[in-house]
Structure 1
Amino acid sequence: MDQAVEQTNEEREESPDWHDIGDEPKQPKNNILHYGHSHFWSVDGEVEDQSLWCELPDIIMEQIFSYLNISQRYNASMVCKRWNSAFYLPYVWHVFHFDDHTLTRRRFNYYSGWQHTLDHLRAQLCLGTVGRFFQHLVFTPMANFYNMYEFMNMISFYAEQQDSESCPVRGISRNIKALKYVFPCKYLSGDEEEATQEHPLYGTGGKLLDAVKRLMGNLRNLRSLELTDLMLDNSEASTLLDDVCCECCQTLRILSISNLTKRQCTLLHVGAFINLQILVIGPQNLGEDAIEMLSHTPLKHLHITQTTLTPSTAKSLSPKCWQAVARRSPNLQVHLSLETKSEKALLWQEKAPVNSICVNSPLCKVSFSFLSVRT
C-alpha cells in the first residue's frame, strides 16, 4: 500500500500539470506557437526575438484598443503585461457602446430559449474600474429592452450616490459629455419602410422612457445629446427635455432630436439652450415660436431632416417668419435633408437662409427650376 502511494506521488511530481507558476515554462509542442516571456516567443522550441508591438507608446495603444469591443479588448490584454496596462488607459474607454451582448451572460428562458441578460456584477465591476473614463455613451438599437433599462438605471443610481461614502462607483457621470440613444422603432414594426402605412409603429415609452429621462437628468455636463426615432406622443414629448434644460442649458452645444414625435408637436425646449451651436430636428417639431426663440441664440447650423417616419402633416414655416429670423440671426445656416425609399416631397422653407440640400431617395428629384423659383 505504501509503495503504491509513493509511486502515485512520484507520478504527480513528474507531471507538468503540477509545476508552480514561477517554475520554468513547459516545452512547447511541435508546430504550435506559444507565448512565453513578454519580449520573446518560441516556435518548435527555438527562442527568437519578438516584434516591438509591446513597446508601442500609450497614445498608439489607446487608438488600437479604442477600435475593439469589450471582449476583444480583454483578449488583447492577455497578450502581455504591457497590453494589459493599455487596457486601463483613459482614451480606450473614451466611447462606450452598449448593445445586446455588452456585459451580459447567457440565460435560459422557458418561453424564448437562450438569451443574453445583463450581468449586474460584471457591469458594476466595469463601471467601478473604467466608468470614470466614459465621455461618449452610445445606446445602439437593440431588441432586449430589459438590459438597456437596467444599465441606464445603474448609471443613474451611481450618479445620484456620488456624495455617499458607501458608493462603490465614483465619477461615472461627471465626465460624460455626449449621449446617443437610438430607439429601434422600425425594427419592431416588422417592416422598416412601410411602418408608417400598413404596420403599426411602436415608440418608446413607459418605464424605458422614465429611465432615459432619469439618465439625462443625471448627466449634468452634456455637450451633445442625440435622440433618434423615439416616436413619442405629444404629452410625453412635452416634458422629455425638462431636466436637460435645467442642468445643461449652458453646456449643451449639439442637439439632435430626429423623429421625436409621431405627430405635429412644436418643442419650445430647443430655445432654452443659450449656447447651442448645431440643432438637428424634424419639421413636425419645429414651429414659429421655437424658431423665434432660436433666433436669439448663437445657433449656427439648423438641420431640418425628413425621413420615412416623418408624418405627412408636417408643414413648412411661413416666409414672413424666416425673414424675421434672417434679420435677427444673420449667421444662421439652414440645411434641408430628405432620406427615404418611398415617394415623398421635400418640404421647402421659403425665404429661409438655406445653405445646403441633401436628397437621398430613388423616387424624389429636385430640379433647378424648383430651386430658382424658391430662392
Structure 2
Amino acid sequence: MKIKWESAPITILENVFKYLGFRDRYHASQVCFQWYDAFYCPSLWSYLTIDGKVFTKKRKDMFMGPQKDVKHMFFESYLHCFGSKIRGIRFEPFDNYFNLYEFLFMISKYFDDFGTEAMPLLRSFEYAFFCIFDGNVTFGSGGRMLEVLVKTVRKLPSSVRRLELSNLFLSYYDSSMLLNSFCHLKHSLVVLNISNVTKDIRTASYTALLEMVNLERVSVSLLNISEPLIRALCCLPALREVCAIEDEFTQIFTLELMETQCPNELWAALTLTRCLTLEIHQDFSQPMLLLPKQCPFKRVTYRSKLRRLTIEDLMDLQKIFHATLREVYVETSYKTFCELYLPLQGFVSVPLLLQLEK
C-alpha cells in the first residue's frame, strides 16, 4: 500500500523537515494542512543555531561589496512563536560583529519582555567568539559586545544545564565580570566550558566556580590552567572530569604556557577522584603538548577532522604521559569516536600500529 505525501505521518514529515532551512520549511508548510502541522512540531525548533547565515538578508554595498543584514522582525517573530520550545542556543564563530551584537541584543530583550517565562525548556547556551589577533591583542570581544553578552547570560533561566563561553581572550576585569554573570546557575549548571575566556593566565579570578555545587565537567584551555584554577576545581564536590583543550590559539601564547607551573600536590588532589582529559583540536599542525610533564592525563581525545592520527603521535603521548595515560579517543566522523586502549606499561600494541598505518 502506497502512502501519499499529503497523508504521511507527522513523524516522517518531521524528520524530512529537519533537513530544510527556515525558508524551505515555510514554503513546504503551504502545501497542505498535514505539512502545515508538521511545520509547528516542537523538535524542529528546539535548537537555535546562529552562524551568520540564518535570519539575514543580502545587501549590496558599493564600497564594501555584498553584505548581510539581520532580519529583525523575522527573528523577533521566531522568538515569540517558538521561544517556549527552544532547548538550546548555539552561536558559531562568524566575523560580522554587528550582526552578532544584534542577535544577542534581541535575545536579551526577549528575556526582559517575558521574564522567567522566556524559554522555560532551555538547557544549553553555547557562545564561541570569532577572534581577530594583532600580535597578542584581540579585537571585538570586549566593550559593548561583552556588555550585551553579560546581560544575556545573566538573564538565562535556571533550567540551563550546559554553558559554553569560549575564545573571548578577555582581560582580568572583563573575564571576572563574565564569570560572575552566571552565578545564578550555581544549582543547575552541570557542564561548563570556559576555554580561552581570558588571556591573563596568572591573574584570572575563578572564585565564581566555588559556588557551582552540581558542576560535573569543566573544560578549559591549556592557557588557563594555573594554580588558582586548580585550587578552585579541587573544591567542587560533584566534579568528575576536567578537560584541557589544545587548539590553534595555543601556539600564540607558547611562552606564557611554558612558564605555567603547578605543584604536584595540587595535581594529585585534583585527580584523586576525577578524570583529567586532554582534547587536541589541531587540524594542520602537529600537537604541541607543551604542558608540564607532571600533568596526570588519563585520557586523550583527538578532535582533528582534517588530520589523521599517526604512530608518532601515539609515541609522543607515550613518552610524555606514560605513567598515567590509559585511553586515547580518535574522532572518526562527526561526533563519532573510536577508542584506542593503551596497556598499563604505556606501550602501544603491534596490531594497533598496523591498523593506524593503513
Q: TM-score, normalised by structure 2?
A: 0.76
Tell me, yes or no, if structure 1 residue 294 matches structure 2 residue 233.
yes
8 Å CA contact 2:242, 2:275 repeated in 1: yes
Q: Return closer, same or farther for 1:142/1:289 CA change in 2, 3 Å cut-off.
A: closer
Tell me, yes or no, if structure 1 residue 306 matches structure 2 residue 246.
yes
Match of 2:185 among 217, 241, 248: 248
Match of 2:301 among 358, 361, 375: 358
Match of 1:159 among 108, 111, 114: 111
Q: Structure 1 residue 108: deviation in Å?
A: 4.2
Tell me, yes or no, if structure 1 residue 214 matches structure 2 residue 151.
yes
> Take 1:210 and 1:317, find their aligned partners in 2: how far apart are those partners?
33
> Take 1:338 and 1:124, find their aligned partners in 2: how far apart are those partners?
38
Aligned to 1:334: 276
Pairwise CA RMSD: 2.8
> Take 1:114 and 1:276, find their aligned partners in 2: how far apart are those partners?
44
Aligned to 1:183: 129
SS class of match (2:265): helix
Q: Return closer, same or farther for 1:348/1:147 CA change in 2, 3 Å cut-off.
A: closer
SS class of match (1:161): helix
Tell me, yes or no, if structure 1 residue 372 matches structure 2 residue 317.
no
SS class of match (1:162): helix
Aligned to 2:332: none
> Take 1:108 and 1:270, find their aligned partners in 2: how far apart are those partners?
46
Unaligned runs of 5+ in 1: 1-48, 164-169, 190-194
Q: Return closer, same or farther for 1:299/1:67 CA change in 2, 3 Å cut-off.
A: farther
8 Å CA contact 2:85, 2:119 repeated in 1: no
Q: Structure 1 residue 343: deviation in Å?
A: 5.5
Aligned to 2:99: 147
> Take 1:305 and 1:252, find their aligned partners in 2: how far apart are those partners?
20
SS class of match (2:48): strand
Q: Structure 1 residue 373: deviation in Å?
A: 5.7
Unaligned runs of 5+ in 2: 326-358
User: What pairs up with 1:76-91 in 2 under 5 angstroms?
Assistant: 76-91=28-43
Matched pairs, number: 308
8 Å CA contact 2:192, 2:219 repeated in 1: yes
Q: Return closer, same or farther for 1:123/1:339 CA change in 2, 3 Å cut-off.
A: closer
SS class of match (2:316): coil
8 Å CA contact 1:287, 1:317 repeated in 2: yes
8 Å CA contact 2:297, 2:321 repeated in 1: no
Counterpart of 1:256 in structure 2: which amino acid?
N
Q: Return closer, same or farther for 1:256/1:79 CA change in 2, 3 Å cut-off.
A: same
> Take 1:132 and 1:86, find their aligned partners in 2: how far apart are those partners?
17
Aligned to 2:216: 277
User: What pairs up with 1:86-101 in 2 under 5 angstroms?
Assistant: 86-101=38-53
Aligned to 1:257: 194
> Take 2:271 and 2:66, find their aligned partners in 1: how far apart are those partners?
57
Aligned to 1:104: 56
Q: TM-score, normalised by structure 1?
A: 0.73
Tell me, yes or no, if structure 1 residue 131 matches structure 2 residue 83.
yes
